[in-house]
Structure formats: C-alpha cells, structure tokens
Amino acid sequence: MKLTVSTKPIPSDLAAFFICQDEQLFTMSIKKLKTNFPAAAVDVFANNEFSGKEGESVLLYTNDKKFPRVLLVGMGENEKFTIEKLRRATAAAAKKGRALKIESITMHAPDVNKGSAKEIAVAMSEAILLSLYKFDKYISDDKNGKKIKNVSFVPATPSDLKEFQQGVIIGEILAEGTIHTRDLANAPGNEIYPETLAKDAQALGHRLGFSVNVFDKKKIQSLGMGGIIGVSKGSENDPRFIIMEYGKQFKKQGTVVLVGKGVTFDTGGISIKPAASMAEMKMDMSGAAAVIGTFHSIAKLKLKRHVIGLIPSVENMPSGTAFKPGDIIRHYNGKTSEVDNTDAEGRLILADALSYASQYKPDVVIDLATLTGAVVVALGQHATGMMGNDQGVMDALRDSGEKTYERVWQLPLFDEYEKQIKSDVADVKNVGGRWAGAITAGWFLKKFIGDYKWVHLDIAGTAILESDKEYTSKGGSGVGVRLLTEFLIQWKNS
C-alpha cells in the first residue's frame, strides 16, 4: 500500500474527515467540508445526524466523480482528544474502506489542539497499516478481493506538510516492524522452529545491514548453556542462540540488550499442557519476534544507538529424550536450577541469555517473554507486566507505553517472594507455587542477571490476542516493537 501526503486533496474512492464535537472546531471542519463537498454534506448536519461524538460515523454519497464518497468520523471532545483515539478512528475509517471494497482513500487530518503534525501522521499511518493486517498467507482463495492500494493524507494546515511527511515515513516503519513480528508469531510451528527463526533474523540482518550470529546446538552445549540444552532435549528440532548487533559505532552512548523468549512451540514438555488452546503456543516465541521486529524498525529508522538482540530459541516437546521434573540444570553463569515443572521452560532458557548478556557491559537489558499464564490472570490483554531493578528505566518504559499505547504495568519484586522459588537441591527452583506466578517467574530471572539495569516484560497477555481490537487482529499482536523503538529513541544513558 502506498501512503502519500498532499496539501490538496487527491481524488479517491473515499474522503475521510475526523471531526471533533466542540462547537468551534466542529464549525471549522464543517466549513471545510462544505467548501469541498457542497453537494453531500448539508443535510446530515441540518438534521443533527452527526455531531462528532466519539464512535459516530456517517457515510455520504456525492455526485462528485472525484470524491464519490465522504466518511465523517466523530472524535469526541477536543479537550479529551488523545492520539490513541485518533489511531482508533483512523483504523475505523480504513476498515470501512476495506468493507466498501474500494482502492483509495483520502484522509483529512483532524484539526486538534493537541499532538504535533508529526505525531498525528505517525499515529494515522501506523493505524491504517496495522488495522488492515490479515494473516492470510495460507488461505487459498480470498486473494483476488480488492485491496486498498493508495491512501493520501491532507495535513490540517498546509504548513504541516514537511512534518507530516516525516511522520508518515516513521509510522510506516513502525508498522512494518510490528507486522514482521505478527507474521513470525502467527506462522505455524511447522514453519517457524529454531533454525528457521534464526534464518529469518539472518535474512533481515542481511537486508538491512546489521550483523547476526547464530550458535548451533554444539556451540550452545560447549558454552554451557544448560537451560537451552535441557529444554530442547525432547525435540527433533535443535536449538539455536541468535545474536543480533546493530549500531556498534554508537557504543559510546551506551549499549542496550534486548532478550526475547524464542520458544517456537510450547507443549509444556513432560508436564504437558491440556489440548485446549495448546495451538496458540506456536506464539510462545512472541518475545523473540518482538526483538526481531524492533531490529527491523530501528535499522530502517537508522537509529543512532548500539543495540544487541539475544534470542534463545527452542521447541519444548515431550519425548523419551525430554528433560524431566526433578532434573537439575547448570546454566551459563554456573548457577543451578531444579526443574519442578517442564512447562516453566521460558525462564530456563532466558537464564542463559541474561547471564550471557553481561559480556556486553550493557547499560540496560530488557527481556520480553510470553512467560506466565499468571500475568494474564492479573492484567488481562490490556497491559504488559513489568518488573525490574531500576525505577528510572521502568518509568521510561511506562512513558513509552503510554505514548504508543503498548501499555505496561509494574509488579513488585519484593524480597518476600524470593522464598517461593527456594530449592532444597539446587540454587533455585523453576516454579514458585500457586500465588504471584508472574512475580516468582520475574524473581527467577533476577537470579541470573548481571551488573546492569534490567527490566522484564511479561507479554503473555498482550502478545497473543483472543479477539480483534481496533487496529490489532486476533492472534499475534506484534506488541513490543513500537514500545521498544520509542524507548530506544527517547532513552538517554545516565
């Protein structure tokens, strides 16, 4: 799909207007509308059929061949305007266009008092691309249906043009990274397994010019990464450890390491999961996918920052060769863990990656993992669970979360919880009992971090969606890419 910006409305199948409820702004928008579309607009307003309320929309047909359809989308009160409301309204307009089976849309940016032209452009363009995403690679028919090919934007004022154009480019890049993550997460387990996940990262690095190094089973074994070896033992598909590096020349300004859980399928292993909804465990590599998608976006943005990506990748299967409850594993840093439940596998492979991260002398390490069902119980699908050892980094991530609306919510890592993962036979046990499962998982990871600022993001609820949202469809959400990219843009080493 092509996104363009023009101060003069480009003729299309549908012209969309985003209109606030407030009297003055409403009158302004309507004036604009009436000058552009004298034939269409008058009656709806005369009859009070549209007042700009949030969620309201009206489709009008005109006899103007250049703009045969006009869509009015209500934005609510200007005072209560948020960028997220604009994302949702834009997504609604894009989906309306898809339902109408048209090929082009002209979107008129709203007249609002909040948000720069750039922010508005980022939000509108990412919302269009993300809301029209469908994982339809494996569906044989449905391919010939009309798709929206062109969307052109008209900035609120002509002087916004440059800024708006810059914003559209950024929005496109953020959507591209997010869609890459969604595609990886939604891909079935017979297509994405450790070897092919690594190939995907390598292909991306090759295309965008960053380095990717992949360790195979032999190398992982020789390094003493017992967690990765242990979890992968039951599978025919060998593990991989993927290392990505971007922007080495910016090392002076600090190094950020991103770690992603790359379990390409989680059956639970010998502690096997119930059959119902096991299929969604093909998305247990969403953390890894988010790290790859973030590299996609930051490399395209040419961000001036040194970023390392670490992905331990395994398939967790039950078999005669699988690891078992009661096994004791020795991790990369020499610490041991007792396996009480083979379904708590994510933390075992992350332990190796987190201790491996130390060698980069990172300023910040952020891990993303679909780690626990418990975080879904606590926060549902609307917030990522966040834990860590540095309030400053967590505050920054919270701000990035508000801005991108990939929101995070902090959970405490109080010392009291540590007792729950005490083992009688090893340094730590991989499960912590019934209560506070997301926190005890976080505590397990904390045992393996080095001398760096660390934040753990449990994305089990936000990465795998049960149903469609405004600009996200059921399945892999691609969460993490916009959050981390925004964080990396804003973050200053202190």
Query: Is 69 among the residues known to form the active site?
Result: no
DSSP E strands: which ranges in 158-295?
Answer: 211-215, 240-246, 255-260, 262-266
Does 315 bind Zn ion (CB under 5 A)? Our answer is no
Does 343 bind Zn ion (CB under 5 A)? Our answer is yes
Name the one range near ligand BES by CB under 6 A: 54-62, 164-172, 176-184, 344-352: 344-352
Name the one range near Zn ion by CB under 5 A: 30-38, 257-265, 293-301, 445-453: 257-265
Does 431 bind ligand BES (CB under 6 A)? Our answer is yes
| H/E element, 253 | none
Question: In this structure, which amino acid lies at residue 345?
Answer: E
Does 346 bind Zn ion (CB under 5 A)? Our answer is yes
- Nearest approach in angstroms of CB 372 to ligand BES is 4
| H/E element, 426 | none
Residue 178's alpha-carbon distances to 106, 219, 463, in angstroms, are: 24, 31, 11
- Nearest approach in angstroms of CB 281 to Zn ion is 7
Q: In the stretch 365-384, what mask flags binding to ligand BES with x, by CB under 6 A? A: -----xxxxx-x--------
The answer to whether 29 and 119 are in contact (CB under 8 A) is no
Among ligand BES, Zn ion, none, partner that 437 touches (CB below 5 to 8 angstroms by kind)? ligand BES
Q: Looking only at residues 448 through 477 of this chain, which bind ligand BES when binding is defined by CB under 6 A?
A: 460, 464
End-to-end CA distance of the chain: 41
- Residue 153, CB-side half-sphere exposure with 13 Å CA sphere: 33
Alpha carbon distance 53, 241 (integer Å): 51
> 160 vs 327, which CB is nearer to ligand BES?
327
Query: Is 330 among the residues known to form the active site?
Result: no
Q: Looking only at residues 314 through 333 of this chain, which bind ligand BES when binding is defined by CB under 6 A?
A: none
Q: In the stretch 280-299, what mask flags binding to Zn ion with x, by CB under 5 A? A: ----x---------------
How is 169-203 classified by DSSP, letter by letter? HHHHHHHHHHHHHHHHHHS-TTT-SHHHHHHHHHH
> 344 vs 379, which CB is nearer to ligand BES?
344
Among ligand BES, Zn ion, none, partner that 374 touches (CB below 5 to 8 angstroms by kind)? ligand BES
Residue with tokens 């990172």: 362
Does 345 bind ligand BES (CB under 6 A)? Our answer is yes
- Which residue minimizes CB distance to ligand BES? 373
* Residues contacting residue 210 through CB under 8 Å, at least 6 positions apart: 244, 245, 246, 247, 295, 299
Check 53, 98, 147, 273 and give the catalytic one: 273
Alpha carbon distance 90, 75 (integer Å): 10
Alpha carbon distance 274, 277 (integer Å): 8
Among ligand BES, Zn ion, none, partner that 172 touches (CB below 5 to 8 angstroms by kind)? none
Among Zn ion, ligand BES, none, partner that 431 touches (CB below 5 to 8 angstroms by kind)? ligand BES
Does 266 bind Zn ion (CB under 5 A)? Our answer is yes
Alpha carbon distance 389, 456 (integer Å): 9
Alpha carbon distance 472, 99 (integer Å): 16
- Nearest approach in angstroms of CB 398 to Zn ion is 25
3-state helix, strand, coil in the chain (%, to 5): 40, 20, 35
Name the one range near ligand BES by CB under 6 A: 19-27, 90-98, 338-346, 448-456: 338-346
- Nearest approach in angstroms of CB 444 to ligand BES is 10
- Nearest approach in angstroms of CB 271 to Zn ion is 8
Check 282, 347, 407, 447 and give the catalytic one: 347
Name the one range near ligand BES by CB under 6 A: 4-12, 20-28, 161-169, 340-348: 340-348
Residue 384 is encoded by which pair of tokens? 């990522």
The answer to whether 118 and 171 are in contact (CB under 8 A) is no
Alpha carbon distance 33, 13 (integer Å): 16
Among ligand BES, Zn ion, none, partner that 336 touches (CB below 5 to 8 angstroms by kind)? none
Q: Looking only at residues 73 through 92 of this chain, which bind ligand BES when binding is defined by CB under 6 A?
A: none
Residue 438 is encoded by which pair of tokens? 């997301």
Give residues in contact with ligand BES (CB under 6 A). 266, 284, 341, 343-346, 370-374, 376, 431, 437, 460, 464
- Under the rule (CB under 5 A), what is the footprint of Zn ion? 263, 266, 284, 343, 345-346
* Catalytically annotated residues: 273, 347
